Chains A and B, each alone.
Chain A
Amino acid sequence: MPRWLIVLAAVCASAAAIPLIYLVARASEAGFATFAEILMRPRVLELAVNSIGFALAVTASCLALGTASAWVLSRVKLPGARILLLASALPLAVPSYLAAYGWLVWFPGINGFWASWFVMTVVCTPYVTLPVAAALRGASGDLESVARTLGRGPVRAFWAATWPQIRPAAIAGALLVCLYSLSDFGLVSMLRFQTLTWGINAAYGASFDRNQAALLALVLVVLALTVVTAERRVRGRSLATSGARAPLLRLRAARVPLVGIVLVAPVAGVLIPVFGLVARLVDAAAVRVIDPQRLVEALIATIGLAAAGAIAATLIALPIAAFAARAKGRLVSVIESLGYLGHALPGIVVGLSLVFFALAVVPVLYQSVIVLVFAYAVLFMPKAIGTTRSGIEAVPDSLTDVARTLGLSKTASWWRVTARLALPGVGVSALLVAIAVMKELPATLLLRPTGVSTLATELWGRTAVFEFGAAAPFAAALVLVAAVPAAFLSGIRGVAKEDL
């Protein structure tokens, strides 16, 4: 492990620690007595319990639905398999608040835990489906066949032989789902389930009590660090197995229910909400003229910011991922956990922390694209750390050893062997970040240069005043443009692993 890599990883992780520093500074202004008083409120406990219950329930259901979908997609011979794989990635393109809104069009009465749990599950399932499907395609089917011939049933054989091979991928995806469920505000506010993020927004909004908001956000930080630590414990390292890929099963009779499993997320997470939006568009008595120039400007800004955010987040995540893939111990644990922080905090907290940081350190760059892109990197680098790390982990040590015996230096062999082979993983990271940036709203509103609009901010500006007719083109453009990286994602996964 080169020392410069450790230093670089620490520097990158400290970027993610900016929100934490800000929160501690704000919370300490409140003083310990206030801190204790607020923590003891029954309301805070209720919100924390709601957040924990919601995040765990969504994670469990995404894990189950995503793993089942991935298994069907990669182990069963299906007509139109490519299209199904593509469809399974599409819920990524729908922002959670848009999905909630679309469901409310059809079922205005739904609210509370179960409604939030269901809609959140269907929009987050691809975070598990895609990596697990890729891992399954790369995994050897030999062991499972052996288990079957030894008399194990299909489910037990899967558990015994295949699950250990896909576990790291599944758990890495589940971690993203869990952190996202903890930090999301748009969906739970629309579907009226009160979590800590609701409390944080209420503290900023009605009382302008930044100290109380900071305290609640710190509770969220503690929850998130617990989740990240737990994930490190149970993740394990992928067992590199070699052998033939599992043959595709021909389950003619079960085709319909199996395809049904795969379609739950795309239908409930994309089709139903998108049709809801279209219905509202048709409803609108005053269909406003679409301003094509604004649409195009917002589209260009969205794509540009997404590309810049993806590059920044991937670059910052790379040293952390490289370090975490090859090292063990407390230091790596701290650095990696810090890297995940941004994803567990609501966008408004990360946004305000960067307002604070930029004004204190680089006032010249305040309200510039640079600070905004940096905020995206802080928010979304966790999406890049996990996949990049798995990519690097999957490169066998023996290959780098060979390169070293051929006379390459440590750094050179890392660059020419590990980095090259891990490149598909890095690409996947970049795509995941790009999608997230396109959908991001609260931090963008706070940090964007005055006058710059993205598709998400344009959409927000119109729905806030009931102009659903005028909002629809922006919503449609957002889903369509975010579907492009999502489509790539469903493809690249397969290609990448098969190449290795």
Chain B
Amino acid sequence: MRSTLAFTAAATAVLFTVTGCATSAEPGPDGMTSDNSFTLYSGRAESLVQPLIDLFEDETGITVDVRYGDTPEMGALLLEEGDRTPAAVFLSQDGGALGALSAAGLFTTLPDDVTSVVADGFTSTDDTWVGVTGRARVIAYDSEKLSADAVPTTVDAFALPEWSGRLGIAPSNASFQAFVTAYRVLKGEEAADAWVAAVAANKPQIFENNNAVLAAVNDGVVETGLLNHYYWFRQAAETGAENMRAQLSYPEVGDPGAIVNVSGAGILATAATDADALEFVRFLVSTAAQEYFVAETFEYPLTTGMAAPAGLPAIESLVNPDLDLADLESLEITQQLLSKHGLI
């Protein structure tokens, strides 16, 4: 029994090793090679992206070996693997993880025809990764306790004493930290420090992620919460929009609370010449893939000329002209700020 198991395990190991090492093909004239397969690390959930990957496989005949995980863990894994990673492409839930991997020098530069289709402000500034979808920051509120017009139109309201204990946040989450960074960039360090201090003094309810914030608002545990819009639409699709106790409110244009976070993808430096990986990233910003995200995950398309999902404000109304995505890279200062006031 034991020897059978050991044999099976060893055989499996060999099998995975063999499939892991690319059976290298002859490089083409542009130096790119293709073996009709590559490995994708996905920080986005299987049920959201696998249908799209299936479509890609059908269209191109390229096999995609997908490894699913949470974006933070996948990011940590890629950093640990370094140049020994079996991954060719990383599909990330948020721009923060892509920025961290880019800063560590793990990504190769993407060609112009991939990066130029996405508007500036929604993608990397050095072409090491490309934005794929956008998510608006929103205020979720408990519609049984608050009327729509009682919901603040600016996040500054949450610094007032009257909101003490009535706000839910996920401060260790990348999307919240991107928002605080935006606040710093737009209103200055002093104002940001005062806002974080006042919000912390208001004893907000702390959650681990956006899902938990939304669930709490929807269950009447907390009156309001700061999160990304598409979590609401995902849950509404599961439980029925008419059953949603939580409703969404969009902060006014120009407010630091009204920014757009992006998900995106990058090609690992170790796969710089992998034509299959490049084809996949090119596919992600194609009309077919962008339409898929609009219809199935309720996210904003990022390629120019695509319409927002039904029922959502136009992305232009959420874009802050004073804010460049590149400004959001000073994550460390944001974390020091949140840590100083005991939120992370």
Greatest chain B CB density within 10 A among A111, A373, A465 is at: A465
Instruction: Decide: B75 and A208 in contact? CB cutoff 8 A.
Output: yes
- Interface flags for B1-28 (1: CB within 8 Å of A; 0: not) read 0100100111011001100100000000
With both beta carbons as reference points, the residue of chain A lying nearest to B40 in the complex is identified as A450
B119 contacts A by Cβ under 8 Å: no
- Interface flags for A86-101 (1: CB within 8 Å of B; 0: not) read 0000000000000000
B339 contacts A by Cβ under 8 Å: yes
Taking A207-B331, A446-B73 as contacts, is the C-beta distance between A285 and B240 under 8 angstroms? yes
Tell me which of A208, A284, A445 contacts B238 (CB under 8 A).
Answer: A284
Greatest chain B CB density within 10 A among A205, A311, A445, A446 is at: A205
Taking A189-B208, A210-B76, A465-B47 as contacts, is the C-beta distance between A450 and B172 under 8 angstroms? no
Which residues from chain A contact B216 at a C-beta distance below 8 Å?
Answer: 108
B335 contacts A by Cβ under 8 Å: yes
Tell me which of A204, A206, A368 contacts B17 (CB under 8 A).
Answer: A368
Instruction: Decide: A367 and B20 in contact? CB cutoff 8 A.
Output: yes
CA distance A442 to B172 in the complex (A): 18
Docked complex: A455-481 residues within 8 A CB-CB of B: 457, 461-462, 464-470
Which residues from chain A contact B243 at a C-beta distance below 8 Å?
Answer: 285
A495 contacts B by Cβ under 8 Å: no
Instruction: Decide: A108 and B221 in contact? CB cutoff 8 A.
Output: yes
- Interface flags for A427-453 (1: CB within 8 Å of B; 0: not) read 000000000000000100110011100
Taking A364-B17, A370-B9 as contacts, is the C-beta distance between A204 and B73 under 8 angstroms? yes
Taking A206-B335, A368-B17 as contacts, is the C-beta distance between A352 and B84 under 8 angstroms? no
B45 contacts A by Cβ under 8 Å: yes
Instruction: Decide: A43 and B235 in contact? CB cutoff 8 A.
Output: no
A329 contacts B by Cβ under 8 Å: no
Taking A43-B339, A461-B45, A461-B47 as contacts, is the C-beta distance between A352 and B238 under 8 angstroms? no
Taking A108-B215, A210-B80, A449-B16 as contacts, is the C-beta distance between A201 and B72 under 8 angstroms? yes
B147 contacts A by Cβ under 8 Å: no
Instruction: Decide: B239 and A369 in contact? CB cutoff 8 A.
Output: no
Which residues from chain A contact B257 at a C-beta distance below 8 Å?
Answer: none
CA distance A356 to B81 in the complex (A): 7
Stretch at the interface among B60-68, B108-116, B126-134: B60-68
Taking A208-B100, A352-B76, A446-B69 as contacts, is the C-beta distance between A462 and B13 under 8 angstroms? no
CA distance A348 to B86 in the complex (A): 19
Which residues from chain B contact A153 at a C-beta distance below 8 Å?
Answer: none
A327 contacts B by Cβ under 8 Å: no
B202 contacts A by Cβ under 8 Å: no
CA distance A367 to B215 in the complex (A): 35
Shortest B253–chain A CB gap in Å is 27
Which residues from chain A contact B76 at a C-beta distance below 8 Å?
Answer: 204-205, 208, 210, 213, 348, 352
CA distance A451 to B50 in the complex (A): 12
With both beta carbons as reference points, the residue of chain A lying nearest to B242 in the complex is identified as A285
Tell me which of B12, B17, B174 contacts A205 (CB under 8 A).
Answer: B174
Instruction: Decide: B172 and A206 in contact? CB cutoff 8 A.
Output: yes
Stretch at the interface among A169-177, A190-198, A414-422: A190-198
CA distance A30 to B84 in the complex (A): 22
With both beta carbons as reference points, the residue of chain A lying nearest to B331 in the complex is identified as A207
Which secondary structure dominates where chain A touches chain B?
helix
Which residues from chain A contact B220 at a C-beta distance below 8 Å?
Answer: 108-109
Instruction: Decide: A450 and B65 in contact? CB cutoff 8 A.
Output: yes
Instruction: Decide: A286 and B238 in contact? CB cutoff 8 A.
Output: yes
Instruction: Decide: B16 and A192 in contact? CB cutoff 8 A.
Output: no
B77 contacts A by Cβ under 8 Å: yes
CA distance A195 to B242 in the complex (A): 37
CA distance A207 to B339 in the complex (A): 12
Instruction: Decide: A359 and B239 in contact? CB cutoff 8 A.
Output: no
B207 contacts A by Cβ under 8 Å: yes
Tell me which of A206, A445, A449, A462 contacts B344 (CB under 8 A).
Answer: A206
Tell me which of B65, B77, B239 contacts A355 (CB under 8 A).
Answer: B77
Taking A368-B17, A465-B234 as contacts, is the C-beta distance between A206 and B174 under 8 angstroms? yes
Tell me which of B8, B9, B47, B96 contacts A462 (CB under 8 A).
Answer: B47
A42 contacts B by Cβ under 8 Å: yes
Taking A108-B216, A206-B96, A464-B211 as contacts, is the C-beta distance between A308 and B80 under 8 angstroms? no
Greatest chain B CB density within 10 A among A46, A194, A445 is at: A445
Shortest B162–chain A CB gap in Å is 21
With both beta carbons as reference points, the residue of chain A lying nearest to B78 in the complex is identified as A208
Which residues from chain A contact B177 at a C-beta distance below 8 Å?
Answer: 206
Instruction: Decide: A359 and B81 in contact? CB cutoff 8 A.
Output: yes
Instruction: Decide: A202 and B172 in contact? CB cutoff 8 A.
Output: yes
CA distance A368 to B335 in the complex (A): 36
Instruction: Decide: B208 and A368 in contact? CB cutoff 8 A.
Output: no
Instruction: Decide: B234 and A466 in contact? CB cutoff 8 A.
Output: yes
Which residues from chain B contact A464 at a C-beta distance below 8 Å?
Answer: 45, 70, 211
Which residues from chain B contact A451 at a C-beta distance below 8 Å?
Answer: 65-67
Which residues from chain B contact A365 at a C-beta distance below 8 Å?
Answer: 13, 17
Which residues from chain A contact B215 at a C-beta distance below 8 Å?
Answer: 104, 108
Shortest B48–chain A CB gap in Å is 6
Tell me which of A204, A206, A308, A442 contacts B5 (CB under 8 A).
Answer: A308
Docked complex: A319-353 residues within 8 A CB-CB of B: 348, 352
Instruction: Decide: A202 and B344 in contact? CB cutoff 8 A.
Output: yes
- Interface flags for A114-144 (1: CB within 8 Å of B; 0: not) read 0000000000000000000000000000000
Instruction: Decide: A355 and B45 in contact? CB cutoff 8 A.
Output: no
A41 contacts B by Cβ under 8 Å: yes
Listed A/B pairs (13) with beta-carbon separation below 8 Å: A46-B342, A108-B216, A109-B219, A204-B75, A205-B73, A284-B238, A356-B80, A366-B84, A442-B73, A445-B68, A451-B67, A462-B47, A466-B238
Interface residues, chain A, with chain B CB atoms under 8 Å away? 41-43, 46, 104, 108-109, 111, 189-190, 192, 194, 198, 201-202, 204-208, 210, 213, 283-286, 307-308, 311, 348, 352, 355-356, 359, 363-370, 373, 442, 445-446, 449-451, 457, 461-462, 464-470
Instruction: Name 6 extra pairs, CB < 8 A, besides A206-B331, A368-B12.
Output: A46-B342, A286-B237, A355-B80, A367-B20, A461-B46, A465-B45
